[in-house]
């Protein structure tokens, strides 16, 4: 049986840091960037990816109609469901995961709609890596010195050699995610699914991605992305 690949695209955040700085009311994943809404960049890419079978988008209910119309205009025929988000990103992804009727060996790729600067090679590469070795996430090596502090004073300088900034996409086997959710119970303060999967005792492979795969957080990220993506 062919292994299926499902995408969970997170778009249920309010983008509060971004809105505060830019005075734009719309969540950052819906503003226009180089001619199309930020989220559409990722939707078009996953539509184009030959491995992807279905796309689940998490968002607030008030955006369901809007996303449906975006998908229709962009011919995103792989859109399989819109799922109401939760209070945190972690809860939003869990809600979406529960909608996927997958088999144990199917793959689930999780990506933040707020990271529009991904390309087809990156997506294909991480899916192929996950087909070989299971759980795989993208990150970039830390290039600055990192210190720990207490009350504004340094307590420790970390060895940056083994430190990574972690990004999305992240890919997991369906059964690994399922049992990690089960094991984590009510604990829901993970900042990404990899954290939960690691805690459940699984080995997660780090793939070096691109430092240009930035997550829109504040207004200046848009200026930067316009330069990087054109």
87 vs 148, beta carbon nearer ligand CTP: 87
89 vs 134, beta carbon nearer ligand CTP: 89
CA 12 to CA 18: how far, in whole Å? 14
Cβ of residue 14: shortest distance to ligand CTP, in angstroms? 5
Q: Which two tokens stand for residue 79?
A: 């859109």
Nearest to 114 by CA among 206, 14, 182: 14
Q: Which two tokens stand for residue 170?
A: 């992240």
Cβ of residue 154: shortest distance to ligand CTP, in angstroms? 27
Cβ of residue 11: shortest distance to ligand CTP, in angstroms? 5
Beta strands at 164-173 and 205-208: parallel, antiparallel or unpaired: unpaired
85 vs 134, beta carbon nearer ligand CTP: 85
Cβ of residue 190: shortest distance to ligand CTP, in angstroms? 13
CA 11 to CA 64: how far, in whole Å? 11
30 vs 51, beta carbon nearer ligand CTP: 30
Residues that bind ligand CTP (CB under 6 A): 10-18, 27, 29, 58, 85-89, 92, 112-114, 215, 217
Which ranges constitute the DSSP H helices of 74-173? 89-99, 120-133
């Amino acid at each position: 049986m062919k292994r299926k690949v499902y995408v969970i695209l997170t778009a249920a955040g309010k983008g509060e840091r971004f809105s505060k700085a830019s005075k734009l009311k719309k969540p950052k994943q819906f503003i226009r960037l180089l001619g199309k809404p930020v989220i559409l960049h990722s939707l078009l890419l996953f539509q184009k990816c030959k491995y992807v079978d279905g796309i689940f988008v998490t968002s607030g209910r008030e955006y369901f109609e809007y996303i449906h119309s975006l998908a229709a205009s962009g011919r995103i025929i792989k859109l399989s469901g819109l799922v109401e988000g939760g209070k945190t990103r972690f809860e939003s992804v869990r809600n979406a995961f529960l909608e996927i009727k997958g088999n144990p060996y199917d793959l689930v790729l999780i990506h933040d709609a707020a990271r529009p600067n991904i390309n087809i090679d990156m997506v294909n590469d991480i899916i192929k890596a996950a087909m070989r070795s299971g759980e795989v996430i993208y990150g970039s090596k830390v290039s600055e010195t990192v210190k720990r502090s207490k009350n504004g004073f340094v307590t420790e300088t970390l060895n940056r050699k083994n430190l990574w900034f972690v990004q999305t996409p992240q890919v997991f086997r369906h059964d690994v995610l399922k049992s990690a959710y089960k094991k984590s119970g009510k604990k829901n303060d993970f900042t990404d699914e990899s954290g939960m999967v690691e805690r459940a005792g699984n080995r997660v492979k780090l793939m070096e991605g691109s430092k240009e795969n930035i997550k829109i957080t504040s207004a200046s990220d848009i200026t930067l992305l316009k330069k990087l993506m054109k």
